[in-house]
Amino acid sequence: MNVGELNPHLRLLLGPGPSPVHPRVLKAMSTNVVGHLDPDFLSVMDDCQVMLRGLFGTENRVTFPVSGTGSAGMEAAVCNVIEPGDKAIICVNGVFGGRMADVAGRYGAEVIKVEAPWGQPIDPTDVKKALDANPGAAIVGIVHAETSTGVLQPMEEIGAACQSHGALLLMDCVTSLGGVPVEVDKWGAEIAYSGTQKCLSCPPGVAPLTMSERALGKMRERKEKVKSWYFDVTMIENYWGSDRSYHHTGPITMNYAIREALRLVFEEGLELRFARHALASKALQAGVEALGLSMFAQEGDRTPTLNTVSIGEGIDDGEVRKALLNDFNIEIGGGLGPVAGKAWRIGMMGHGARQENVVYLMSALEVIFNRMGYTKKVGEASAAATRVYAEALA
């Protein structure tokens, strides 16, 4: 058997994830591997928990990175608090709200969907109506930043409604954590999860999860065991808690990675980090509009971390993205569901949310658009993006 050397291209990852990995995170991953119960690794676990609490905006004791990607975080969040027959109100305004509904249904929930058109946030009034019509609902699940549409969901009013009705608010923060404010305790969220491959600029592989004492109480009152052994927090919390009892062999290197990624977050400072993401998104939008394109999500409801661009009639989605990848080593994402072929998903996340990346992307798109006959102008989009940064620094 002759297997060649592994040598992937060096891509600029500006899609919906993974995002560019910070060099310090890559370096941390080359650190000596120790056992998952070694005292050196236990201190890594402690560091991760402390920093994740700060990033989630919570005092929750049970806060740790699940061993798995963001979808593992979703499954762990849902399976621990859902029993067969429970009512689960799931908000759906994109692919990942739909995926949450699917997961809840697979664990036996009676799923009640609260829906909004793609590109728009969920109306809190609709959530209140669903809660009124379904007393005793176990959870309300919602996506904070919908990766398929680029919509950022306001949370305060929905959190207050859940608390007044006694439902647990479960929040998907996969595309928001580390890029925009997340305030789990302030918003009344009882369960929240994320991933590492978005705004944390860390490879996919672990999924931050936090659960309140109220959520843990619901979990401990279950009539049946959690259906998933691997994601059963009643056991995992003993590994991440003071007992340190063995549950599974944790991904040592990935925990090194998230620890370093979190260190970078707090070295930069949350407010500065959020401002950097917002500025990169603003510059990107200026460049997109100079190209003659428009944004898909409504103004005022956009997440700066994932920018959805309506590509317009006559533009070949696949050919443009292919040219970006082959000629410029830039990856952006195509649309999903009803906007497949009609929109691009451009990530401005973590280490990728920087001026040089925005300007390079705009310049590459201008060259491709000119070559394909979509525009005769070259330079206006990159100049528009540059002006946004110049004005911010003036």
Residue 300: is it exposed, middle or buried by C-beta count within 10 angstroms (0-12/13-18/19+)?
exposed
pTM score, whole prediction: 0.96
Set out the domains of the chain in order of their start, with CATH numbers: 22-267 (3.40.640.10), 269-393 (3.90.1150.10)
**Residue 302's pLDDT is what?**
98
DSSP H or E stretch at residue 151? strand 151-152
| pLDDT for the residue 193 | 98
C-alpha angle 56-62-63 in degrees, rounded to nearest 5? 35
pLDDT in the model for residue 274: 98
User: pLDDT of the chain along its 394 residues, tens only?
Assistant: 889 999 999 999 999 999 999 999 999 999 999 999 999 999 999 999 999 999 999 999 999 999 999 999 999 999 999 999 999 999 999 999 999 999 999 999 999 999 999 999 999 999 999 999 999 999 999 999 999 999 999 999 999 999 999 999 999 999 999 999 999 999 999 999 999 999 999 999 999 999 999 999 999 999 999 999 999 999 999 999 888 899 999 999 999 999 999 999 999 999 999 999 999 999 999 999 999 999 999 899 999 999 999 998 899 999 999 999 999 999 999 999 999 999 999 999 999 999 999 999 999 999 999 999 998 888 999 999 999 999 998 8
Q: What would the two tokens of residue 175 be?
A: 């595309």
Residue 251 has what pLDDT?
Answer: 96
Residue 316 amino acid letter: D
- Looking at residue 231, its pLDDT comes to 97
What is the pLDDT, as a whole number, of residue 101? 98
Task: Check whether the bond before 18 is cis (ω within 30° of 0).
Answer: yes
Residue 376: per-residue pLDDT: 84
Residue 312's pLDDT is what? 83
Check if the beta carbon of residue 43 is closer than 8 Å to that of residue 168: no
Q: List C-alpha distances in Å: 297 to 93, 106, 291, 300.
A: 11, 30, 17, 9
Structure tokens at 134: 């379904």
CB proximity list for 171: less than 8 A, separation 6 or greater: 141, 142, 143, 144, 155, 184, 187, 189, 191, 192, 193
- 383 closest CA partner among 262, 291, 294: 291
Phi/psi at 23 (5° precision): -55, -35
343-347 and 87-92 strand pairing? unpaired
Q: What is the pLDDT of residue 393?
A: 86
